[in-house]
Amino acid sequence: MASKEDIIARAKEAITEFDDEIAAEVAEEALAAGIDPVELIEKGFTVGMKEVGEKFDQGILFLPHMLAAAEAMNAGLEVIKPEMERRKSQTKNLGIVVIGTIEGDIHSIGKDIVASLLSIAGFKVVDLGRDVPIKTFVEKAKELKPQIIASSALMTTTMVNQIQIEEQLKEAGIRDKLKTMVGGAPVTQAWADKIGADIYGESANDAVSKVKAALV
C-alpha cells in the first residue's frame, strides 16, 4: 500500500497535471488509508493549486490551465465531501461565516478552500460565489446576522473594493455587530489594518485558526 507521503504527492501531481480522474482516485485511496481529508487538501491539492497559480502569474500557464486545475481539485473534493460532512455533523455549530470573492474578481479557488475548511471546522458557511457585489455582502449580513463577513480578492484592482464592504457595513449600522476577514494573493496584514478589517487570512489554515480565535 502506498505511503501517506506518496498519496499526498500524487494528489498535488493530479492538480499540476490537470487530471481529474487521478484526483478522484487519489482521494479514494486517501480515505481508504485513513488519511485526514484536511491534510490531503492542504498538503496535496492546495499545494498543487498554488504551483499552478504561481506559473499563471509568471505567464507560463494561462486561464484554461487554472480552470482545468480547479476542475481536478473539485473532482477530488467531491470524493472526500461525504467524509467531511460526517465530521461536520459531529462538531457543534461555531457560528455563521458569509464568504465570497469580491466584485470584479472571478477567482474562486482560494475562497473555495477556505470555505471547505471552515465548514469542516464546524462553521455554517454561506458561500456567495465569485464576483459578488458589495451590496450583496451587506444584504446577507443584515439577513443572516453572521459572526464573520469574509471577502477574497486575487487582484490589486479588485482588492480596493474591500474598503467598500467596511464603509457600507458602517453605513448600514451593523459594522460593530460582526467581524470582517480579508484574504487573497495581493492582500496583506498591512492592507487589512489600513481598511479596518478585523482578520487577515494568510492561508486557508491561518484563516480558520484566526476565525476560531476571534469567536471563542
What is the per-residue pLDDT across 145-193, written as a single tens digit (0 to 9) for each? 999 999 999 888 999 999 999 999 999 999 999 999 999 989 999 999 9
Q: Which CATH number fits domain 96-215: 3.40.50.2300, 3.30.450.20, 3.40.50.280, 2.60.40.290?
A: 3.40.50.280
CATH number of the structural domain 4-89: 1.10.1240.10
pLDDT at 41: 87
The model carries a pTM of: 0.73
pLDDT at 30: 96
Residue % of the chain over a pLDDT of 90: 64
The answer to whether 97 touches 118, Cβ cutoff 8 Å, is yes
Q: Long-range CB contacts (< 8 A, 24+ apart) of 11-14?
A: 11/40, 11/43, 11/44, 11/45, 11/48, 11/76, 12/43, 12/44, 12/45, 12/47, 12/48, 12/51, 13/48, 14/45, 14/48, 14/72, 14/76
Residue-wise pLDDT for 14-38, tens only, equals 999 999 999 999 999 999 999 988 8
What does the alpha-carbon distance between residue 49 and residue 76 come to, in Å, rounded to a whole number? 12
Locate the domains of the chain by residue range: 4-89, 96-215
Residue-wise pLDDT for 47-97, tens only, equals 898 888 788 878 999 888 988 998 998 899 899 988 877 877 766 778 999
